[in-house]
Structure 1
């Protein structure tokens, strides 16, 4: 197979690139390096995400059937929350200043100059809303599945472990896990490089999603490893009473920018600059 897939005949797309199987490990190293180069803002992002996780725990501490879906849905909306981390890594790559103003511009004025809704206007927001809807749908499905099929009421993590994960008949757990993986796979394929690409270049939402899928098709094993690393590190962060999320989530966010840079050649598309 060639270094990059040919462009679609019906739509001009950025080129998905082939990478080595172990390349995702280098993204983690680069993500950690970026976190260390901008520690205050990176840790602030991690603290916000940890507080969001704590809020989920607070609301669902006695409704684990709901919390299980909400925490797994937490992974779905991660690419949206990490948008300003992508912008920080891009600025570091260019030798530009990384400060609170950059974060503010990323979230509020990155597409200044557009006067009306169109194919690319507010595309980051549009994609974020789609991911939020997907996460909400999974929360509802997960809660319904556990509530309807569990032999007892699941009110705590210990209940979930005892009566779902470690139950003599593990059918419910495998069904829950399998359904979650089935729903998560297309979401991951649609979002793995979409958000950094939308932030970086003037492409439409459709172009970004199609490019993301082509990246998966070009590098299925490497991207499976990347997905596994994201899940493992996120679970480690959750298992450390959320404290690990303060460090893990910024690292993964910065690493996702480097993943995009290695996986996509978008040099033929104009830059999408935030307002200064």
Structure 2
């Protein structure tokens, strides 16, 4: 379903450009890595339409972009609480990032240096390297927690009448029972999304729907829906 998939990815690429434009107006472009990391935390929620597209394609049906976008709304009651959990993780990450900026560089959100200066500080000073190492480890721990609860929870909530807590517990169990493959899957997701951002967001047009469709198939391989 190339039209639905690529249009879905293009929407998020466009949103990223709009955010970049807004940050440039406030001279805060250096926040892009922080927000990009945050997007990877909440991304599973926004991929609901891609799960629906894969579900219908699996059944031999077709789907329009409007139907794909509407899939999330139909399951809004079940996805709502899960969305709150993911956005809480997003805000925790943003707060931690600002805290680390202040601790290592003495910077607040209103005094961020331009990107070129920021990257030079990050890569070629002791304080910058400390920030890079600590930020990466902090982000990795938070990302692994979020991945564990969201690896298969969104597609499960989309197609089955279960509560968010049950869906997250099922996701954690699936990760723990398949720790090696799931860690590889997490690394692949991170790598694809980093490529998407590194290509000035153009790569998101392909990377985001690719990860979304693959997540549905991972879910189908891990969860037997017919079992009570």
Conservation of the 8 A alpha-carbon contact between 2:78 and 2:158: no
| Correspondence 1:68 to 2:33 | yes
- Whole-Å Cα distance in 1 between the matches of residues 227 and 137 of structure 2? 39
2:222 to 259, 263, 274: 263
Q: Which residue of 2 aligns with 1:100?
A: 65
| Correspondence 1:58 to 2:21 | yes
Deviation of 1:64 after TM superposition, in Å, equals 4.2
1:78-118, Cα deviation, whole Å (9 max, x unpaired):
1011001000000000011211342254133347xxxxxxx
Q: Which residue of 2 aligns with 1:161?
A: 119
Distance 1:266 1:219, change over 3 A: same
Larger Rg: 1
Distance 1:214 1:40, change over 3 A: same
1:190-241, Cα deviation, whole Å (9 max, x unpaired):
0000001111212111111011101111111111111111111111111111
Gaps of 5+ in 1: 1-37, 112-121, 270-276
Q: Give the 3-state SS of the residue equivalent to 1:214 in structure 2.
A: helix
- Whole-Å Cα distance in 1 between the matches of residues 226 and 55 of structure 2? 14
Conservation of the 8 A alpha-carbon contact between 1:66 and 1:139: no
Deviates more, 1:138-147 or 1:184-193: 138-147
Q: Which residue of 2 aligns with 1:14?
A: none
1:141-185, Cα deviation, whole Å (9 max, x unpaired):
212311342167542332332112343452121111111111111
Task: Report which of the two has the higher share of helix.
Answer: 2
Deviation of 1:261 after TM superposition, in Å, equals 0.8
- Whole-Å Cα distance in 2 between the matches of residues 200 and 262 of structure 1? 15
Provide the aligned C-alpha RMSD in A: 1.9
Q: Which residue of 2 aligns with 1:215?
A: 174
- Whole-Å Cα distance in 2 between the matches of residues 259 and 45 of structure 1? 20
Distance 1:99 1:180, change over 3 A: same
What TM-score do you get using the length of structure 1 for normalisation?
0.75
The size of the alignment, in residue pairs, is 222
1:46-70, Cα deviation, whole Å (9 max, x unpaired):
0111122213322333324533221
Query: Which protein, 1 or 2, shows the higher relative CO under an 8 Å CA cutoff with sep ≥ 6?
Result: 1
Q: Which residue of 1 aligns with 2:5?
A: 42
Conservation of the 8 A alpha-carbon contact between 2:72 and 2:158: no
